[in-house]
Chains A and B, each alone.
Chain A
């Protein structure tokens, strides 16, 4: 059974047209993360939520926003996508409690910007 679900798997948008990527989880984990992964590169952490507390990475552009309306769902909003934002976007979850807090990843959404 899928535990971290991302929709859609492939998203095409136009330069400057806002786009929203969706992530949901059935694990009831406290923490949800968004990563950007460009071709042949490591996933780059954009931000994460610990419950409702939002934690932004210092170098995440303002163009990227996130919402977490409840435990299960987290959204990534790209307000004005540029060509450089084309990438795979990965969502992950983590229990947030002490102990082996492994991350569980979704399959990713590949974003194309035309």
Chain B
């Protein structure tokens, strides 16, 4: 499978912005996704971006994609305690396969 990497931990104060980064190696990515996982639960789709786009904004979420560097980021504005979770990026290739990053554990400090 492809390699998708993320930093493991991030702590931010409530109300600040969070930026979670992801790098991938797949040169045939079609879409890239961000998922949120709370303890003991499945993965919840947050947002996605088509591989030909540079940016996508969805309410408090902003996704930036640098296709040349194969770098994806998720910015959460006005981070709340309910945003504390593990965030996974994933890339989808042309074969309908999805490869997940290692996950970033976001802790929001009140």
Contact = CB atoms under 8 A, between A and B. Distances in A.
Given A100-B31, A101-B31, A102-B33, A43 B43 contact: yes
**Contact residues of B: prevailing secondary structure:** strand
Contacts, number: 63
Nearest to B4: A42
A104 interface: yes
Interface residues of A, number: 28
Interface centre among A57, A92, A105 (most CB of B within 10 A): A105
Contacts of B50: 100
Interface residues of B, number: 26
Interface of A: 4, 31, 33, 40-45, 48, 50, 55, 57, 59, 90, 92, 94, 96, 100-108, 110
**A-B complex: 3 closest residue pairs judged by Cβ atoms:** A105-B42, A42-B100, A105-B43
